Amino acid sequence: MTSTDGQPLDTDSYPLLAGIDDPAALRDLPHRKLPALAAELREFLLHSVARSGGHLAAGLGVVELTIALHYVYQTPEDRLVWDVGHQCYPHKILTGRRGRIHTVRKTDGLAGFPKRDESPYDTFGVGHSSTSISAAIGMALAARAQGSDQRTCAVIGDGGLTAGQAFEALNHAGDARPDLLVVLNDNEMSISENVGALSRTLARLLAGGVYGNLRREGKRMLERMPSGMRELAKRAEAHAKGMIAPGMFFEELGFQYFGPVDGHDLTALVPVLQRLRATEGPLLLHVVTRKGKGYALAEEDPIAYHGVKAFDPSEGLPEGGGGGTSYTRVFGDWLCDIAAQDRRVWGITPAMREGSGLVEFAHRFPERYLDVGIAEQHSVTVAAGLACEGERPVLAIYSTFLQRGYDQLIHDIAIQKLPVVLAIDRAGLVGADGPTHNGAFDLSYLRCVPNLVVMAPADEDECRQMLYTGHCHDGPAAVRYPRGAGPGVPVSPRMQALPMGRAEWRRRGKGVALLAFGSMVTPALEAAEALDASVLNMRFVKPVDEQAVMEAAAEHDLLVTLEENVIAGGAGSAVAECLARAGVTVPIRHIGLPDRFIEHGDPGVLLHRLGMDGPGVTRRVEEWLAPRRHALRGG
């Protein structure tokens, strides 16, 4: 493959790592060499991601944990399930993909998340949080039914554990009792030397046979006691365990809890995991790690170093950024402006303050800012509750994350006609994160919901005005906008509501009318210059401007709809349905995302391949026009 992704790092500086082409080779290493391997892996990861870009801080934080898991578990026969997957780079490096890690998240390169068709070591495809325990339960139950002796381990972060699905899975595991280890990767605090030594000793004690034997014998003794004494003994046991083990919650759910243990201490991790692999039933190991471990700048600011572009590790990330104003920035500025005018305005996010542009709002209006954690369903319904009491909530959420709150959107907001503004970021193709994060479906799944207004801005200023339009609307409204910068239109400080459901003509041509939604207006205008076509900026997906559609149909020989959304059920379908209702027959074609998942890569490259950039639109329209022109010439 030829690409501009650069070359892999020379492995001469990493002698131990260079010999690890799969976990079997890792397991051949003597235990005493594992810390040295961890040092090499961390250094290799840092310099590789610094050259190529990608997720960094999370991977640096799980280097030792990744080594320990592959050292103890017989992967890929044993199942190792990572939650979210931001931390999977060390896993990929140790499982035969070291030579391609420089292509991660690049077009035609490695995926930034675990992916089943990329490697047998990627047991479950992820990208969103809080699915690991559920998937691992299914795998463990399948192993039991098939009589297999494979072991199953799920790794989930403390952030991922805030989502409802994780708790649902924990609750089910306590009842189904699969042979399953859940590793809780807690990176919200670091362990000091003294506490680390104590926790290491405690984890070994709890994972050993003494504690387990005492626990079993204690249960037998309790069963022989009179009921009054038994209740008293249970309370005493709960009190004692609460003092020595911070895991009563998990114990009550049916898990045996072990830890906390220092996740950067391989002398502690390996023996604990070895004992737990041989232990039956649902188990939870509490591991404490530090994001960005080993690289001081990432330790100090793990949010900035979560996902990075290429940089010099000796200097750190460059200050500021290039390019035009991003839609996310437009939203964040608008929210602060409208909140200053209207004290009913709230800003809500499901754990995406930075990504959704809410940093300044959280600073200026802390009493009206809600970060609900990784809980998309809750974020939608809490917005509905605020709206019930006369407040004007704005939910900032990625298109792909809103899919998780779809039931709540319908039942809790739309049915009740509540005035909630949905600021939907990352609409369309998002690039390096790939199919799990592409906002490919929102126009389809939103426009079929009654009582909901759906808008798609063509540029930065239109985004601001649409957000204000949604705020003024007495009902639910959604504004969906893409990732990154817009076409460069200056943003006016004024706020003016747009006429509801009205499109605008951006160019008058002849023969062909390009009916463009949102981000596709810019390539439509480029194509229109070559085709001498008309361009209608549709603005509203719902309600669609039926008058403008009829005008376009009456004055043109071919209508072409354009949207950065799947064609199936999308905005183009709304136009076709409008024509069908009116009994108007006119040739119509649709340009949008095809009926398949689009892989990761540079968005410009991907849109070009799909024929959705300016030249691509021109070519496709000319191909559709060719038979008609041939027929007119009498051929």
Instruction: Quote the pLDDT of residue 230.
Output: 58
Do 27 and 176 share a domain, yes or no?
yes
- The mean pLDDT of 84-92, rounded to a whole number, is 94
Cα distance between residue 425 and residue 400, in whole Å: 9
Q: Are residues 466 and 584 in the same domain?
A: no
What pLDDT shows up at residue 166? 93
Same domain, 516 and 469: no
Predicted local distance difference test score (pLDDT) of residue 288: 93
- The token duo for 355 is 């990504």
The tokens describing 224, both together, are 């022989």
Residue 2 counted as domain residue: no
> Same structural domain for residues 446 and 513?
no
**Residue 187 confidence (pLDDT):** 87
Q: For 22-26, 204-208, 434-438, 473-477, which range has the lowest pLDDT when averaged over its residues?
A: 204-208
Interatomic CA distance for residues 188 and 287, integer angstroms: 11
Give the Cβ contact number of residue 186 at 10 Å: 18
Query: Residue 150: pLDDT above 90?
Result: yes
Per the model's pLDDT, the better-predicted residue between 218 and 71 turns out to be 71
Which is more confidently placed, 611 or 10? 611
**Structural domain includes residue 404:** yes
Question: Which of these is catalytic: 200, 275, 290, 404?
Answer: 404
Residue 316, in any domain of the structure? no
Are 179 and 229 part of one and the same domain? yes
One domain for residues 468 and 545? no
Q: What is the CATH number of the domain that holds 361?
A: 3.40.50.970
* Domain assignment of residue 15, yes or no: yes
Q: pLDDT value at position 159?
A: 87
Residues 6+ apart with CB under 8 A from 218: 237
Report pLDDT for 208. 56
Judge if 460 and 600 occupy the same domain. Answer: no
- The reported pLDDT for the residue numbered 6 is 62
Quickly state the pLDDT bin for 4 (edges 50, 70, 90): very low
Checking if the pLDDT of 276 tops 80, the result is yes
Of 380, 439, 438, nearest in space to 406 by CA = 380
pLDDT over threshold 70, residue 577: yes
The yes-or-no verdict on residue 571 having pLDDT over 60 is yes
What mean pLDDT, rounded, does the chain reach? 90
Tell me if 498 is assigned to some domain: no
Q: Which two tokens stand for residue 16?
A: 């131990």
Lowest mean pLDDT segment, chosen from 160-164, 166-170, 386-390, 581-585: 160-164
219 vs 457, higher pLDDT:
457
CA atoms of 263 and 241, how far apart (whole Å) = 22
Establish if 270 belongs to a structural domain: yes
Q: Residue 436: what pLDDT?
A: 93
Which residue in 97, 290, 291, 542 is the catalytic one?
A: 291
Of 413, 445, 480, the last residue of a domain is 480
Q: Which residues of 569-598 are buried (b: 16+ CB within 10 A; e: fewer)?
A: ebbbbbbeebbeeeeeeeebebbbbeeeeb
181-214 pLDDT, tens digit per residue, is: 999 999 864 332 333 443 454 455 455 554 455 4
Regarding whether 360 and 266 lie in a shared domain, the answer is no
One domain, residues 357 and 249: no
Domain presence at residue 322: no
Q: What is the pLDDT of residue 350?
A: 93
Residues pairing with 288 in the sheet = 186, 262
Q: How far is Cα 63 from Cα 37, in angstroms, rounded to an integer?
A: 10
The CA-based dihedral angle spanning residues 176, 181, 186, 187, taken in that order and rounded to the nearest 10 degrees:
-130
pLDDT for residue 252? 87
Q: What is the pLDDT of residue 202?
A: 43
Cα-flanking dihedrals φ and ψ of residue 461, to 5°? -65, -40
Region 281-308: mean pLDDT is 93
Please tell me the distance from the alpha carbon of residue 377 to that of residue 438, in angstroms, as a whole number. 19
227 located within any domain: yes
Would you state the pLDDT for residue 193?
34
Task: Kindly state whether residues 298 and 337 are assigned to the same domain.
Answer: no
Residue 376 among the catalytic residues = yes
Q: Catalytic residue at 291?
A: yes
Confidence category of residue 224, pLDDT binned at 50, 70, 90:
low
Residues 301 and 331 in one domain: no
Output the pLDDT for position 192.
29
Q: Are residues 56 and 202 in the same domain?
A: yes
Distance of CA 340 to the CA centre of its chain: 31
Judging by DSSP bridges, how do beta strands 453-455 and 477-480 pair with one another?
parallel
Euclidean distance between CA atoms 160 and 444, whole angstroms: 28
Residue 632, pLDDT score: 58
Q: What is the mean pLDDT of residues 494-503?
A: 97
The answer to whether the CB of 434 falls within 8 A of the CB of 111 is: yes
pTM of the model as a whole: 0.88
- pLDDT, tens digit, 9 for 90 and up, residues 536-563: 999 999 999 999 999 999 999 999 999 9
| Catalytic annotation present for 526 | no
- Name the domain boundary from 306, 340, 369: 306
Helix, strand, or coil (residue 355): coil
Tens of pLDDT, residues 410-441? 999 999 999 999 999 999 999 999 999 999 99
- Provide the percentage of residues in the chain whose pLDDT is more than 90: 82
Active-site residue among 40, 376, 460, 564? Answer: 376
pLDDT band, residue 115 (cuts 50/70/90) = very high
Sequential DSSP letters for 250-270: HHHTTPEEEEEEETT-HHHHH
Domain with 551 in it: what CATH number? 3.40.50.920
The pLDDT score that the predictor gives to residue 630 is 63
| pLDDT on residue 1 | 30
Structural domain that includes position 476: 327-480
pLDDT in tens, 33-46: 999 999 999 999 99
User: Residue 7: which pLDDT band, with cuts at 50, 70 and 90?
Assistant: confident
What is the Cα–Cα distance from 635 to 623, expressed in whole angstroms? 16
CA distance 157 to 173: 18
Number of domains within the chain: 3
Cis peptide bond upstream of 35, omega within 30: no
What's the CA gap between 439 and 430, in Å, rounded?
A: 7
Report the pLDDT value the prediction gives residue 458, as an integer from 0 to 100: 98
Predicted confidence at residue 157, as pLDDT, reads 92
Q: Which H/E stretch holds residue 218?
A: helix 209-224
**Confidence band for 162, pLDDT divided at 50, 70 and 90:** confident
Please report, rounded to a whole number, the percentage of residues in the chain having pLDDT higher than 70: 88
Examine the fold and report which residue of 253, 271, 306 is the final residue of a domain before the chain moves on: 306
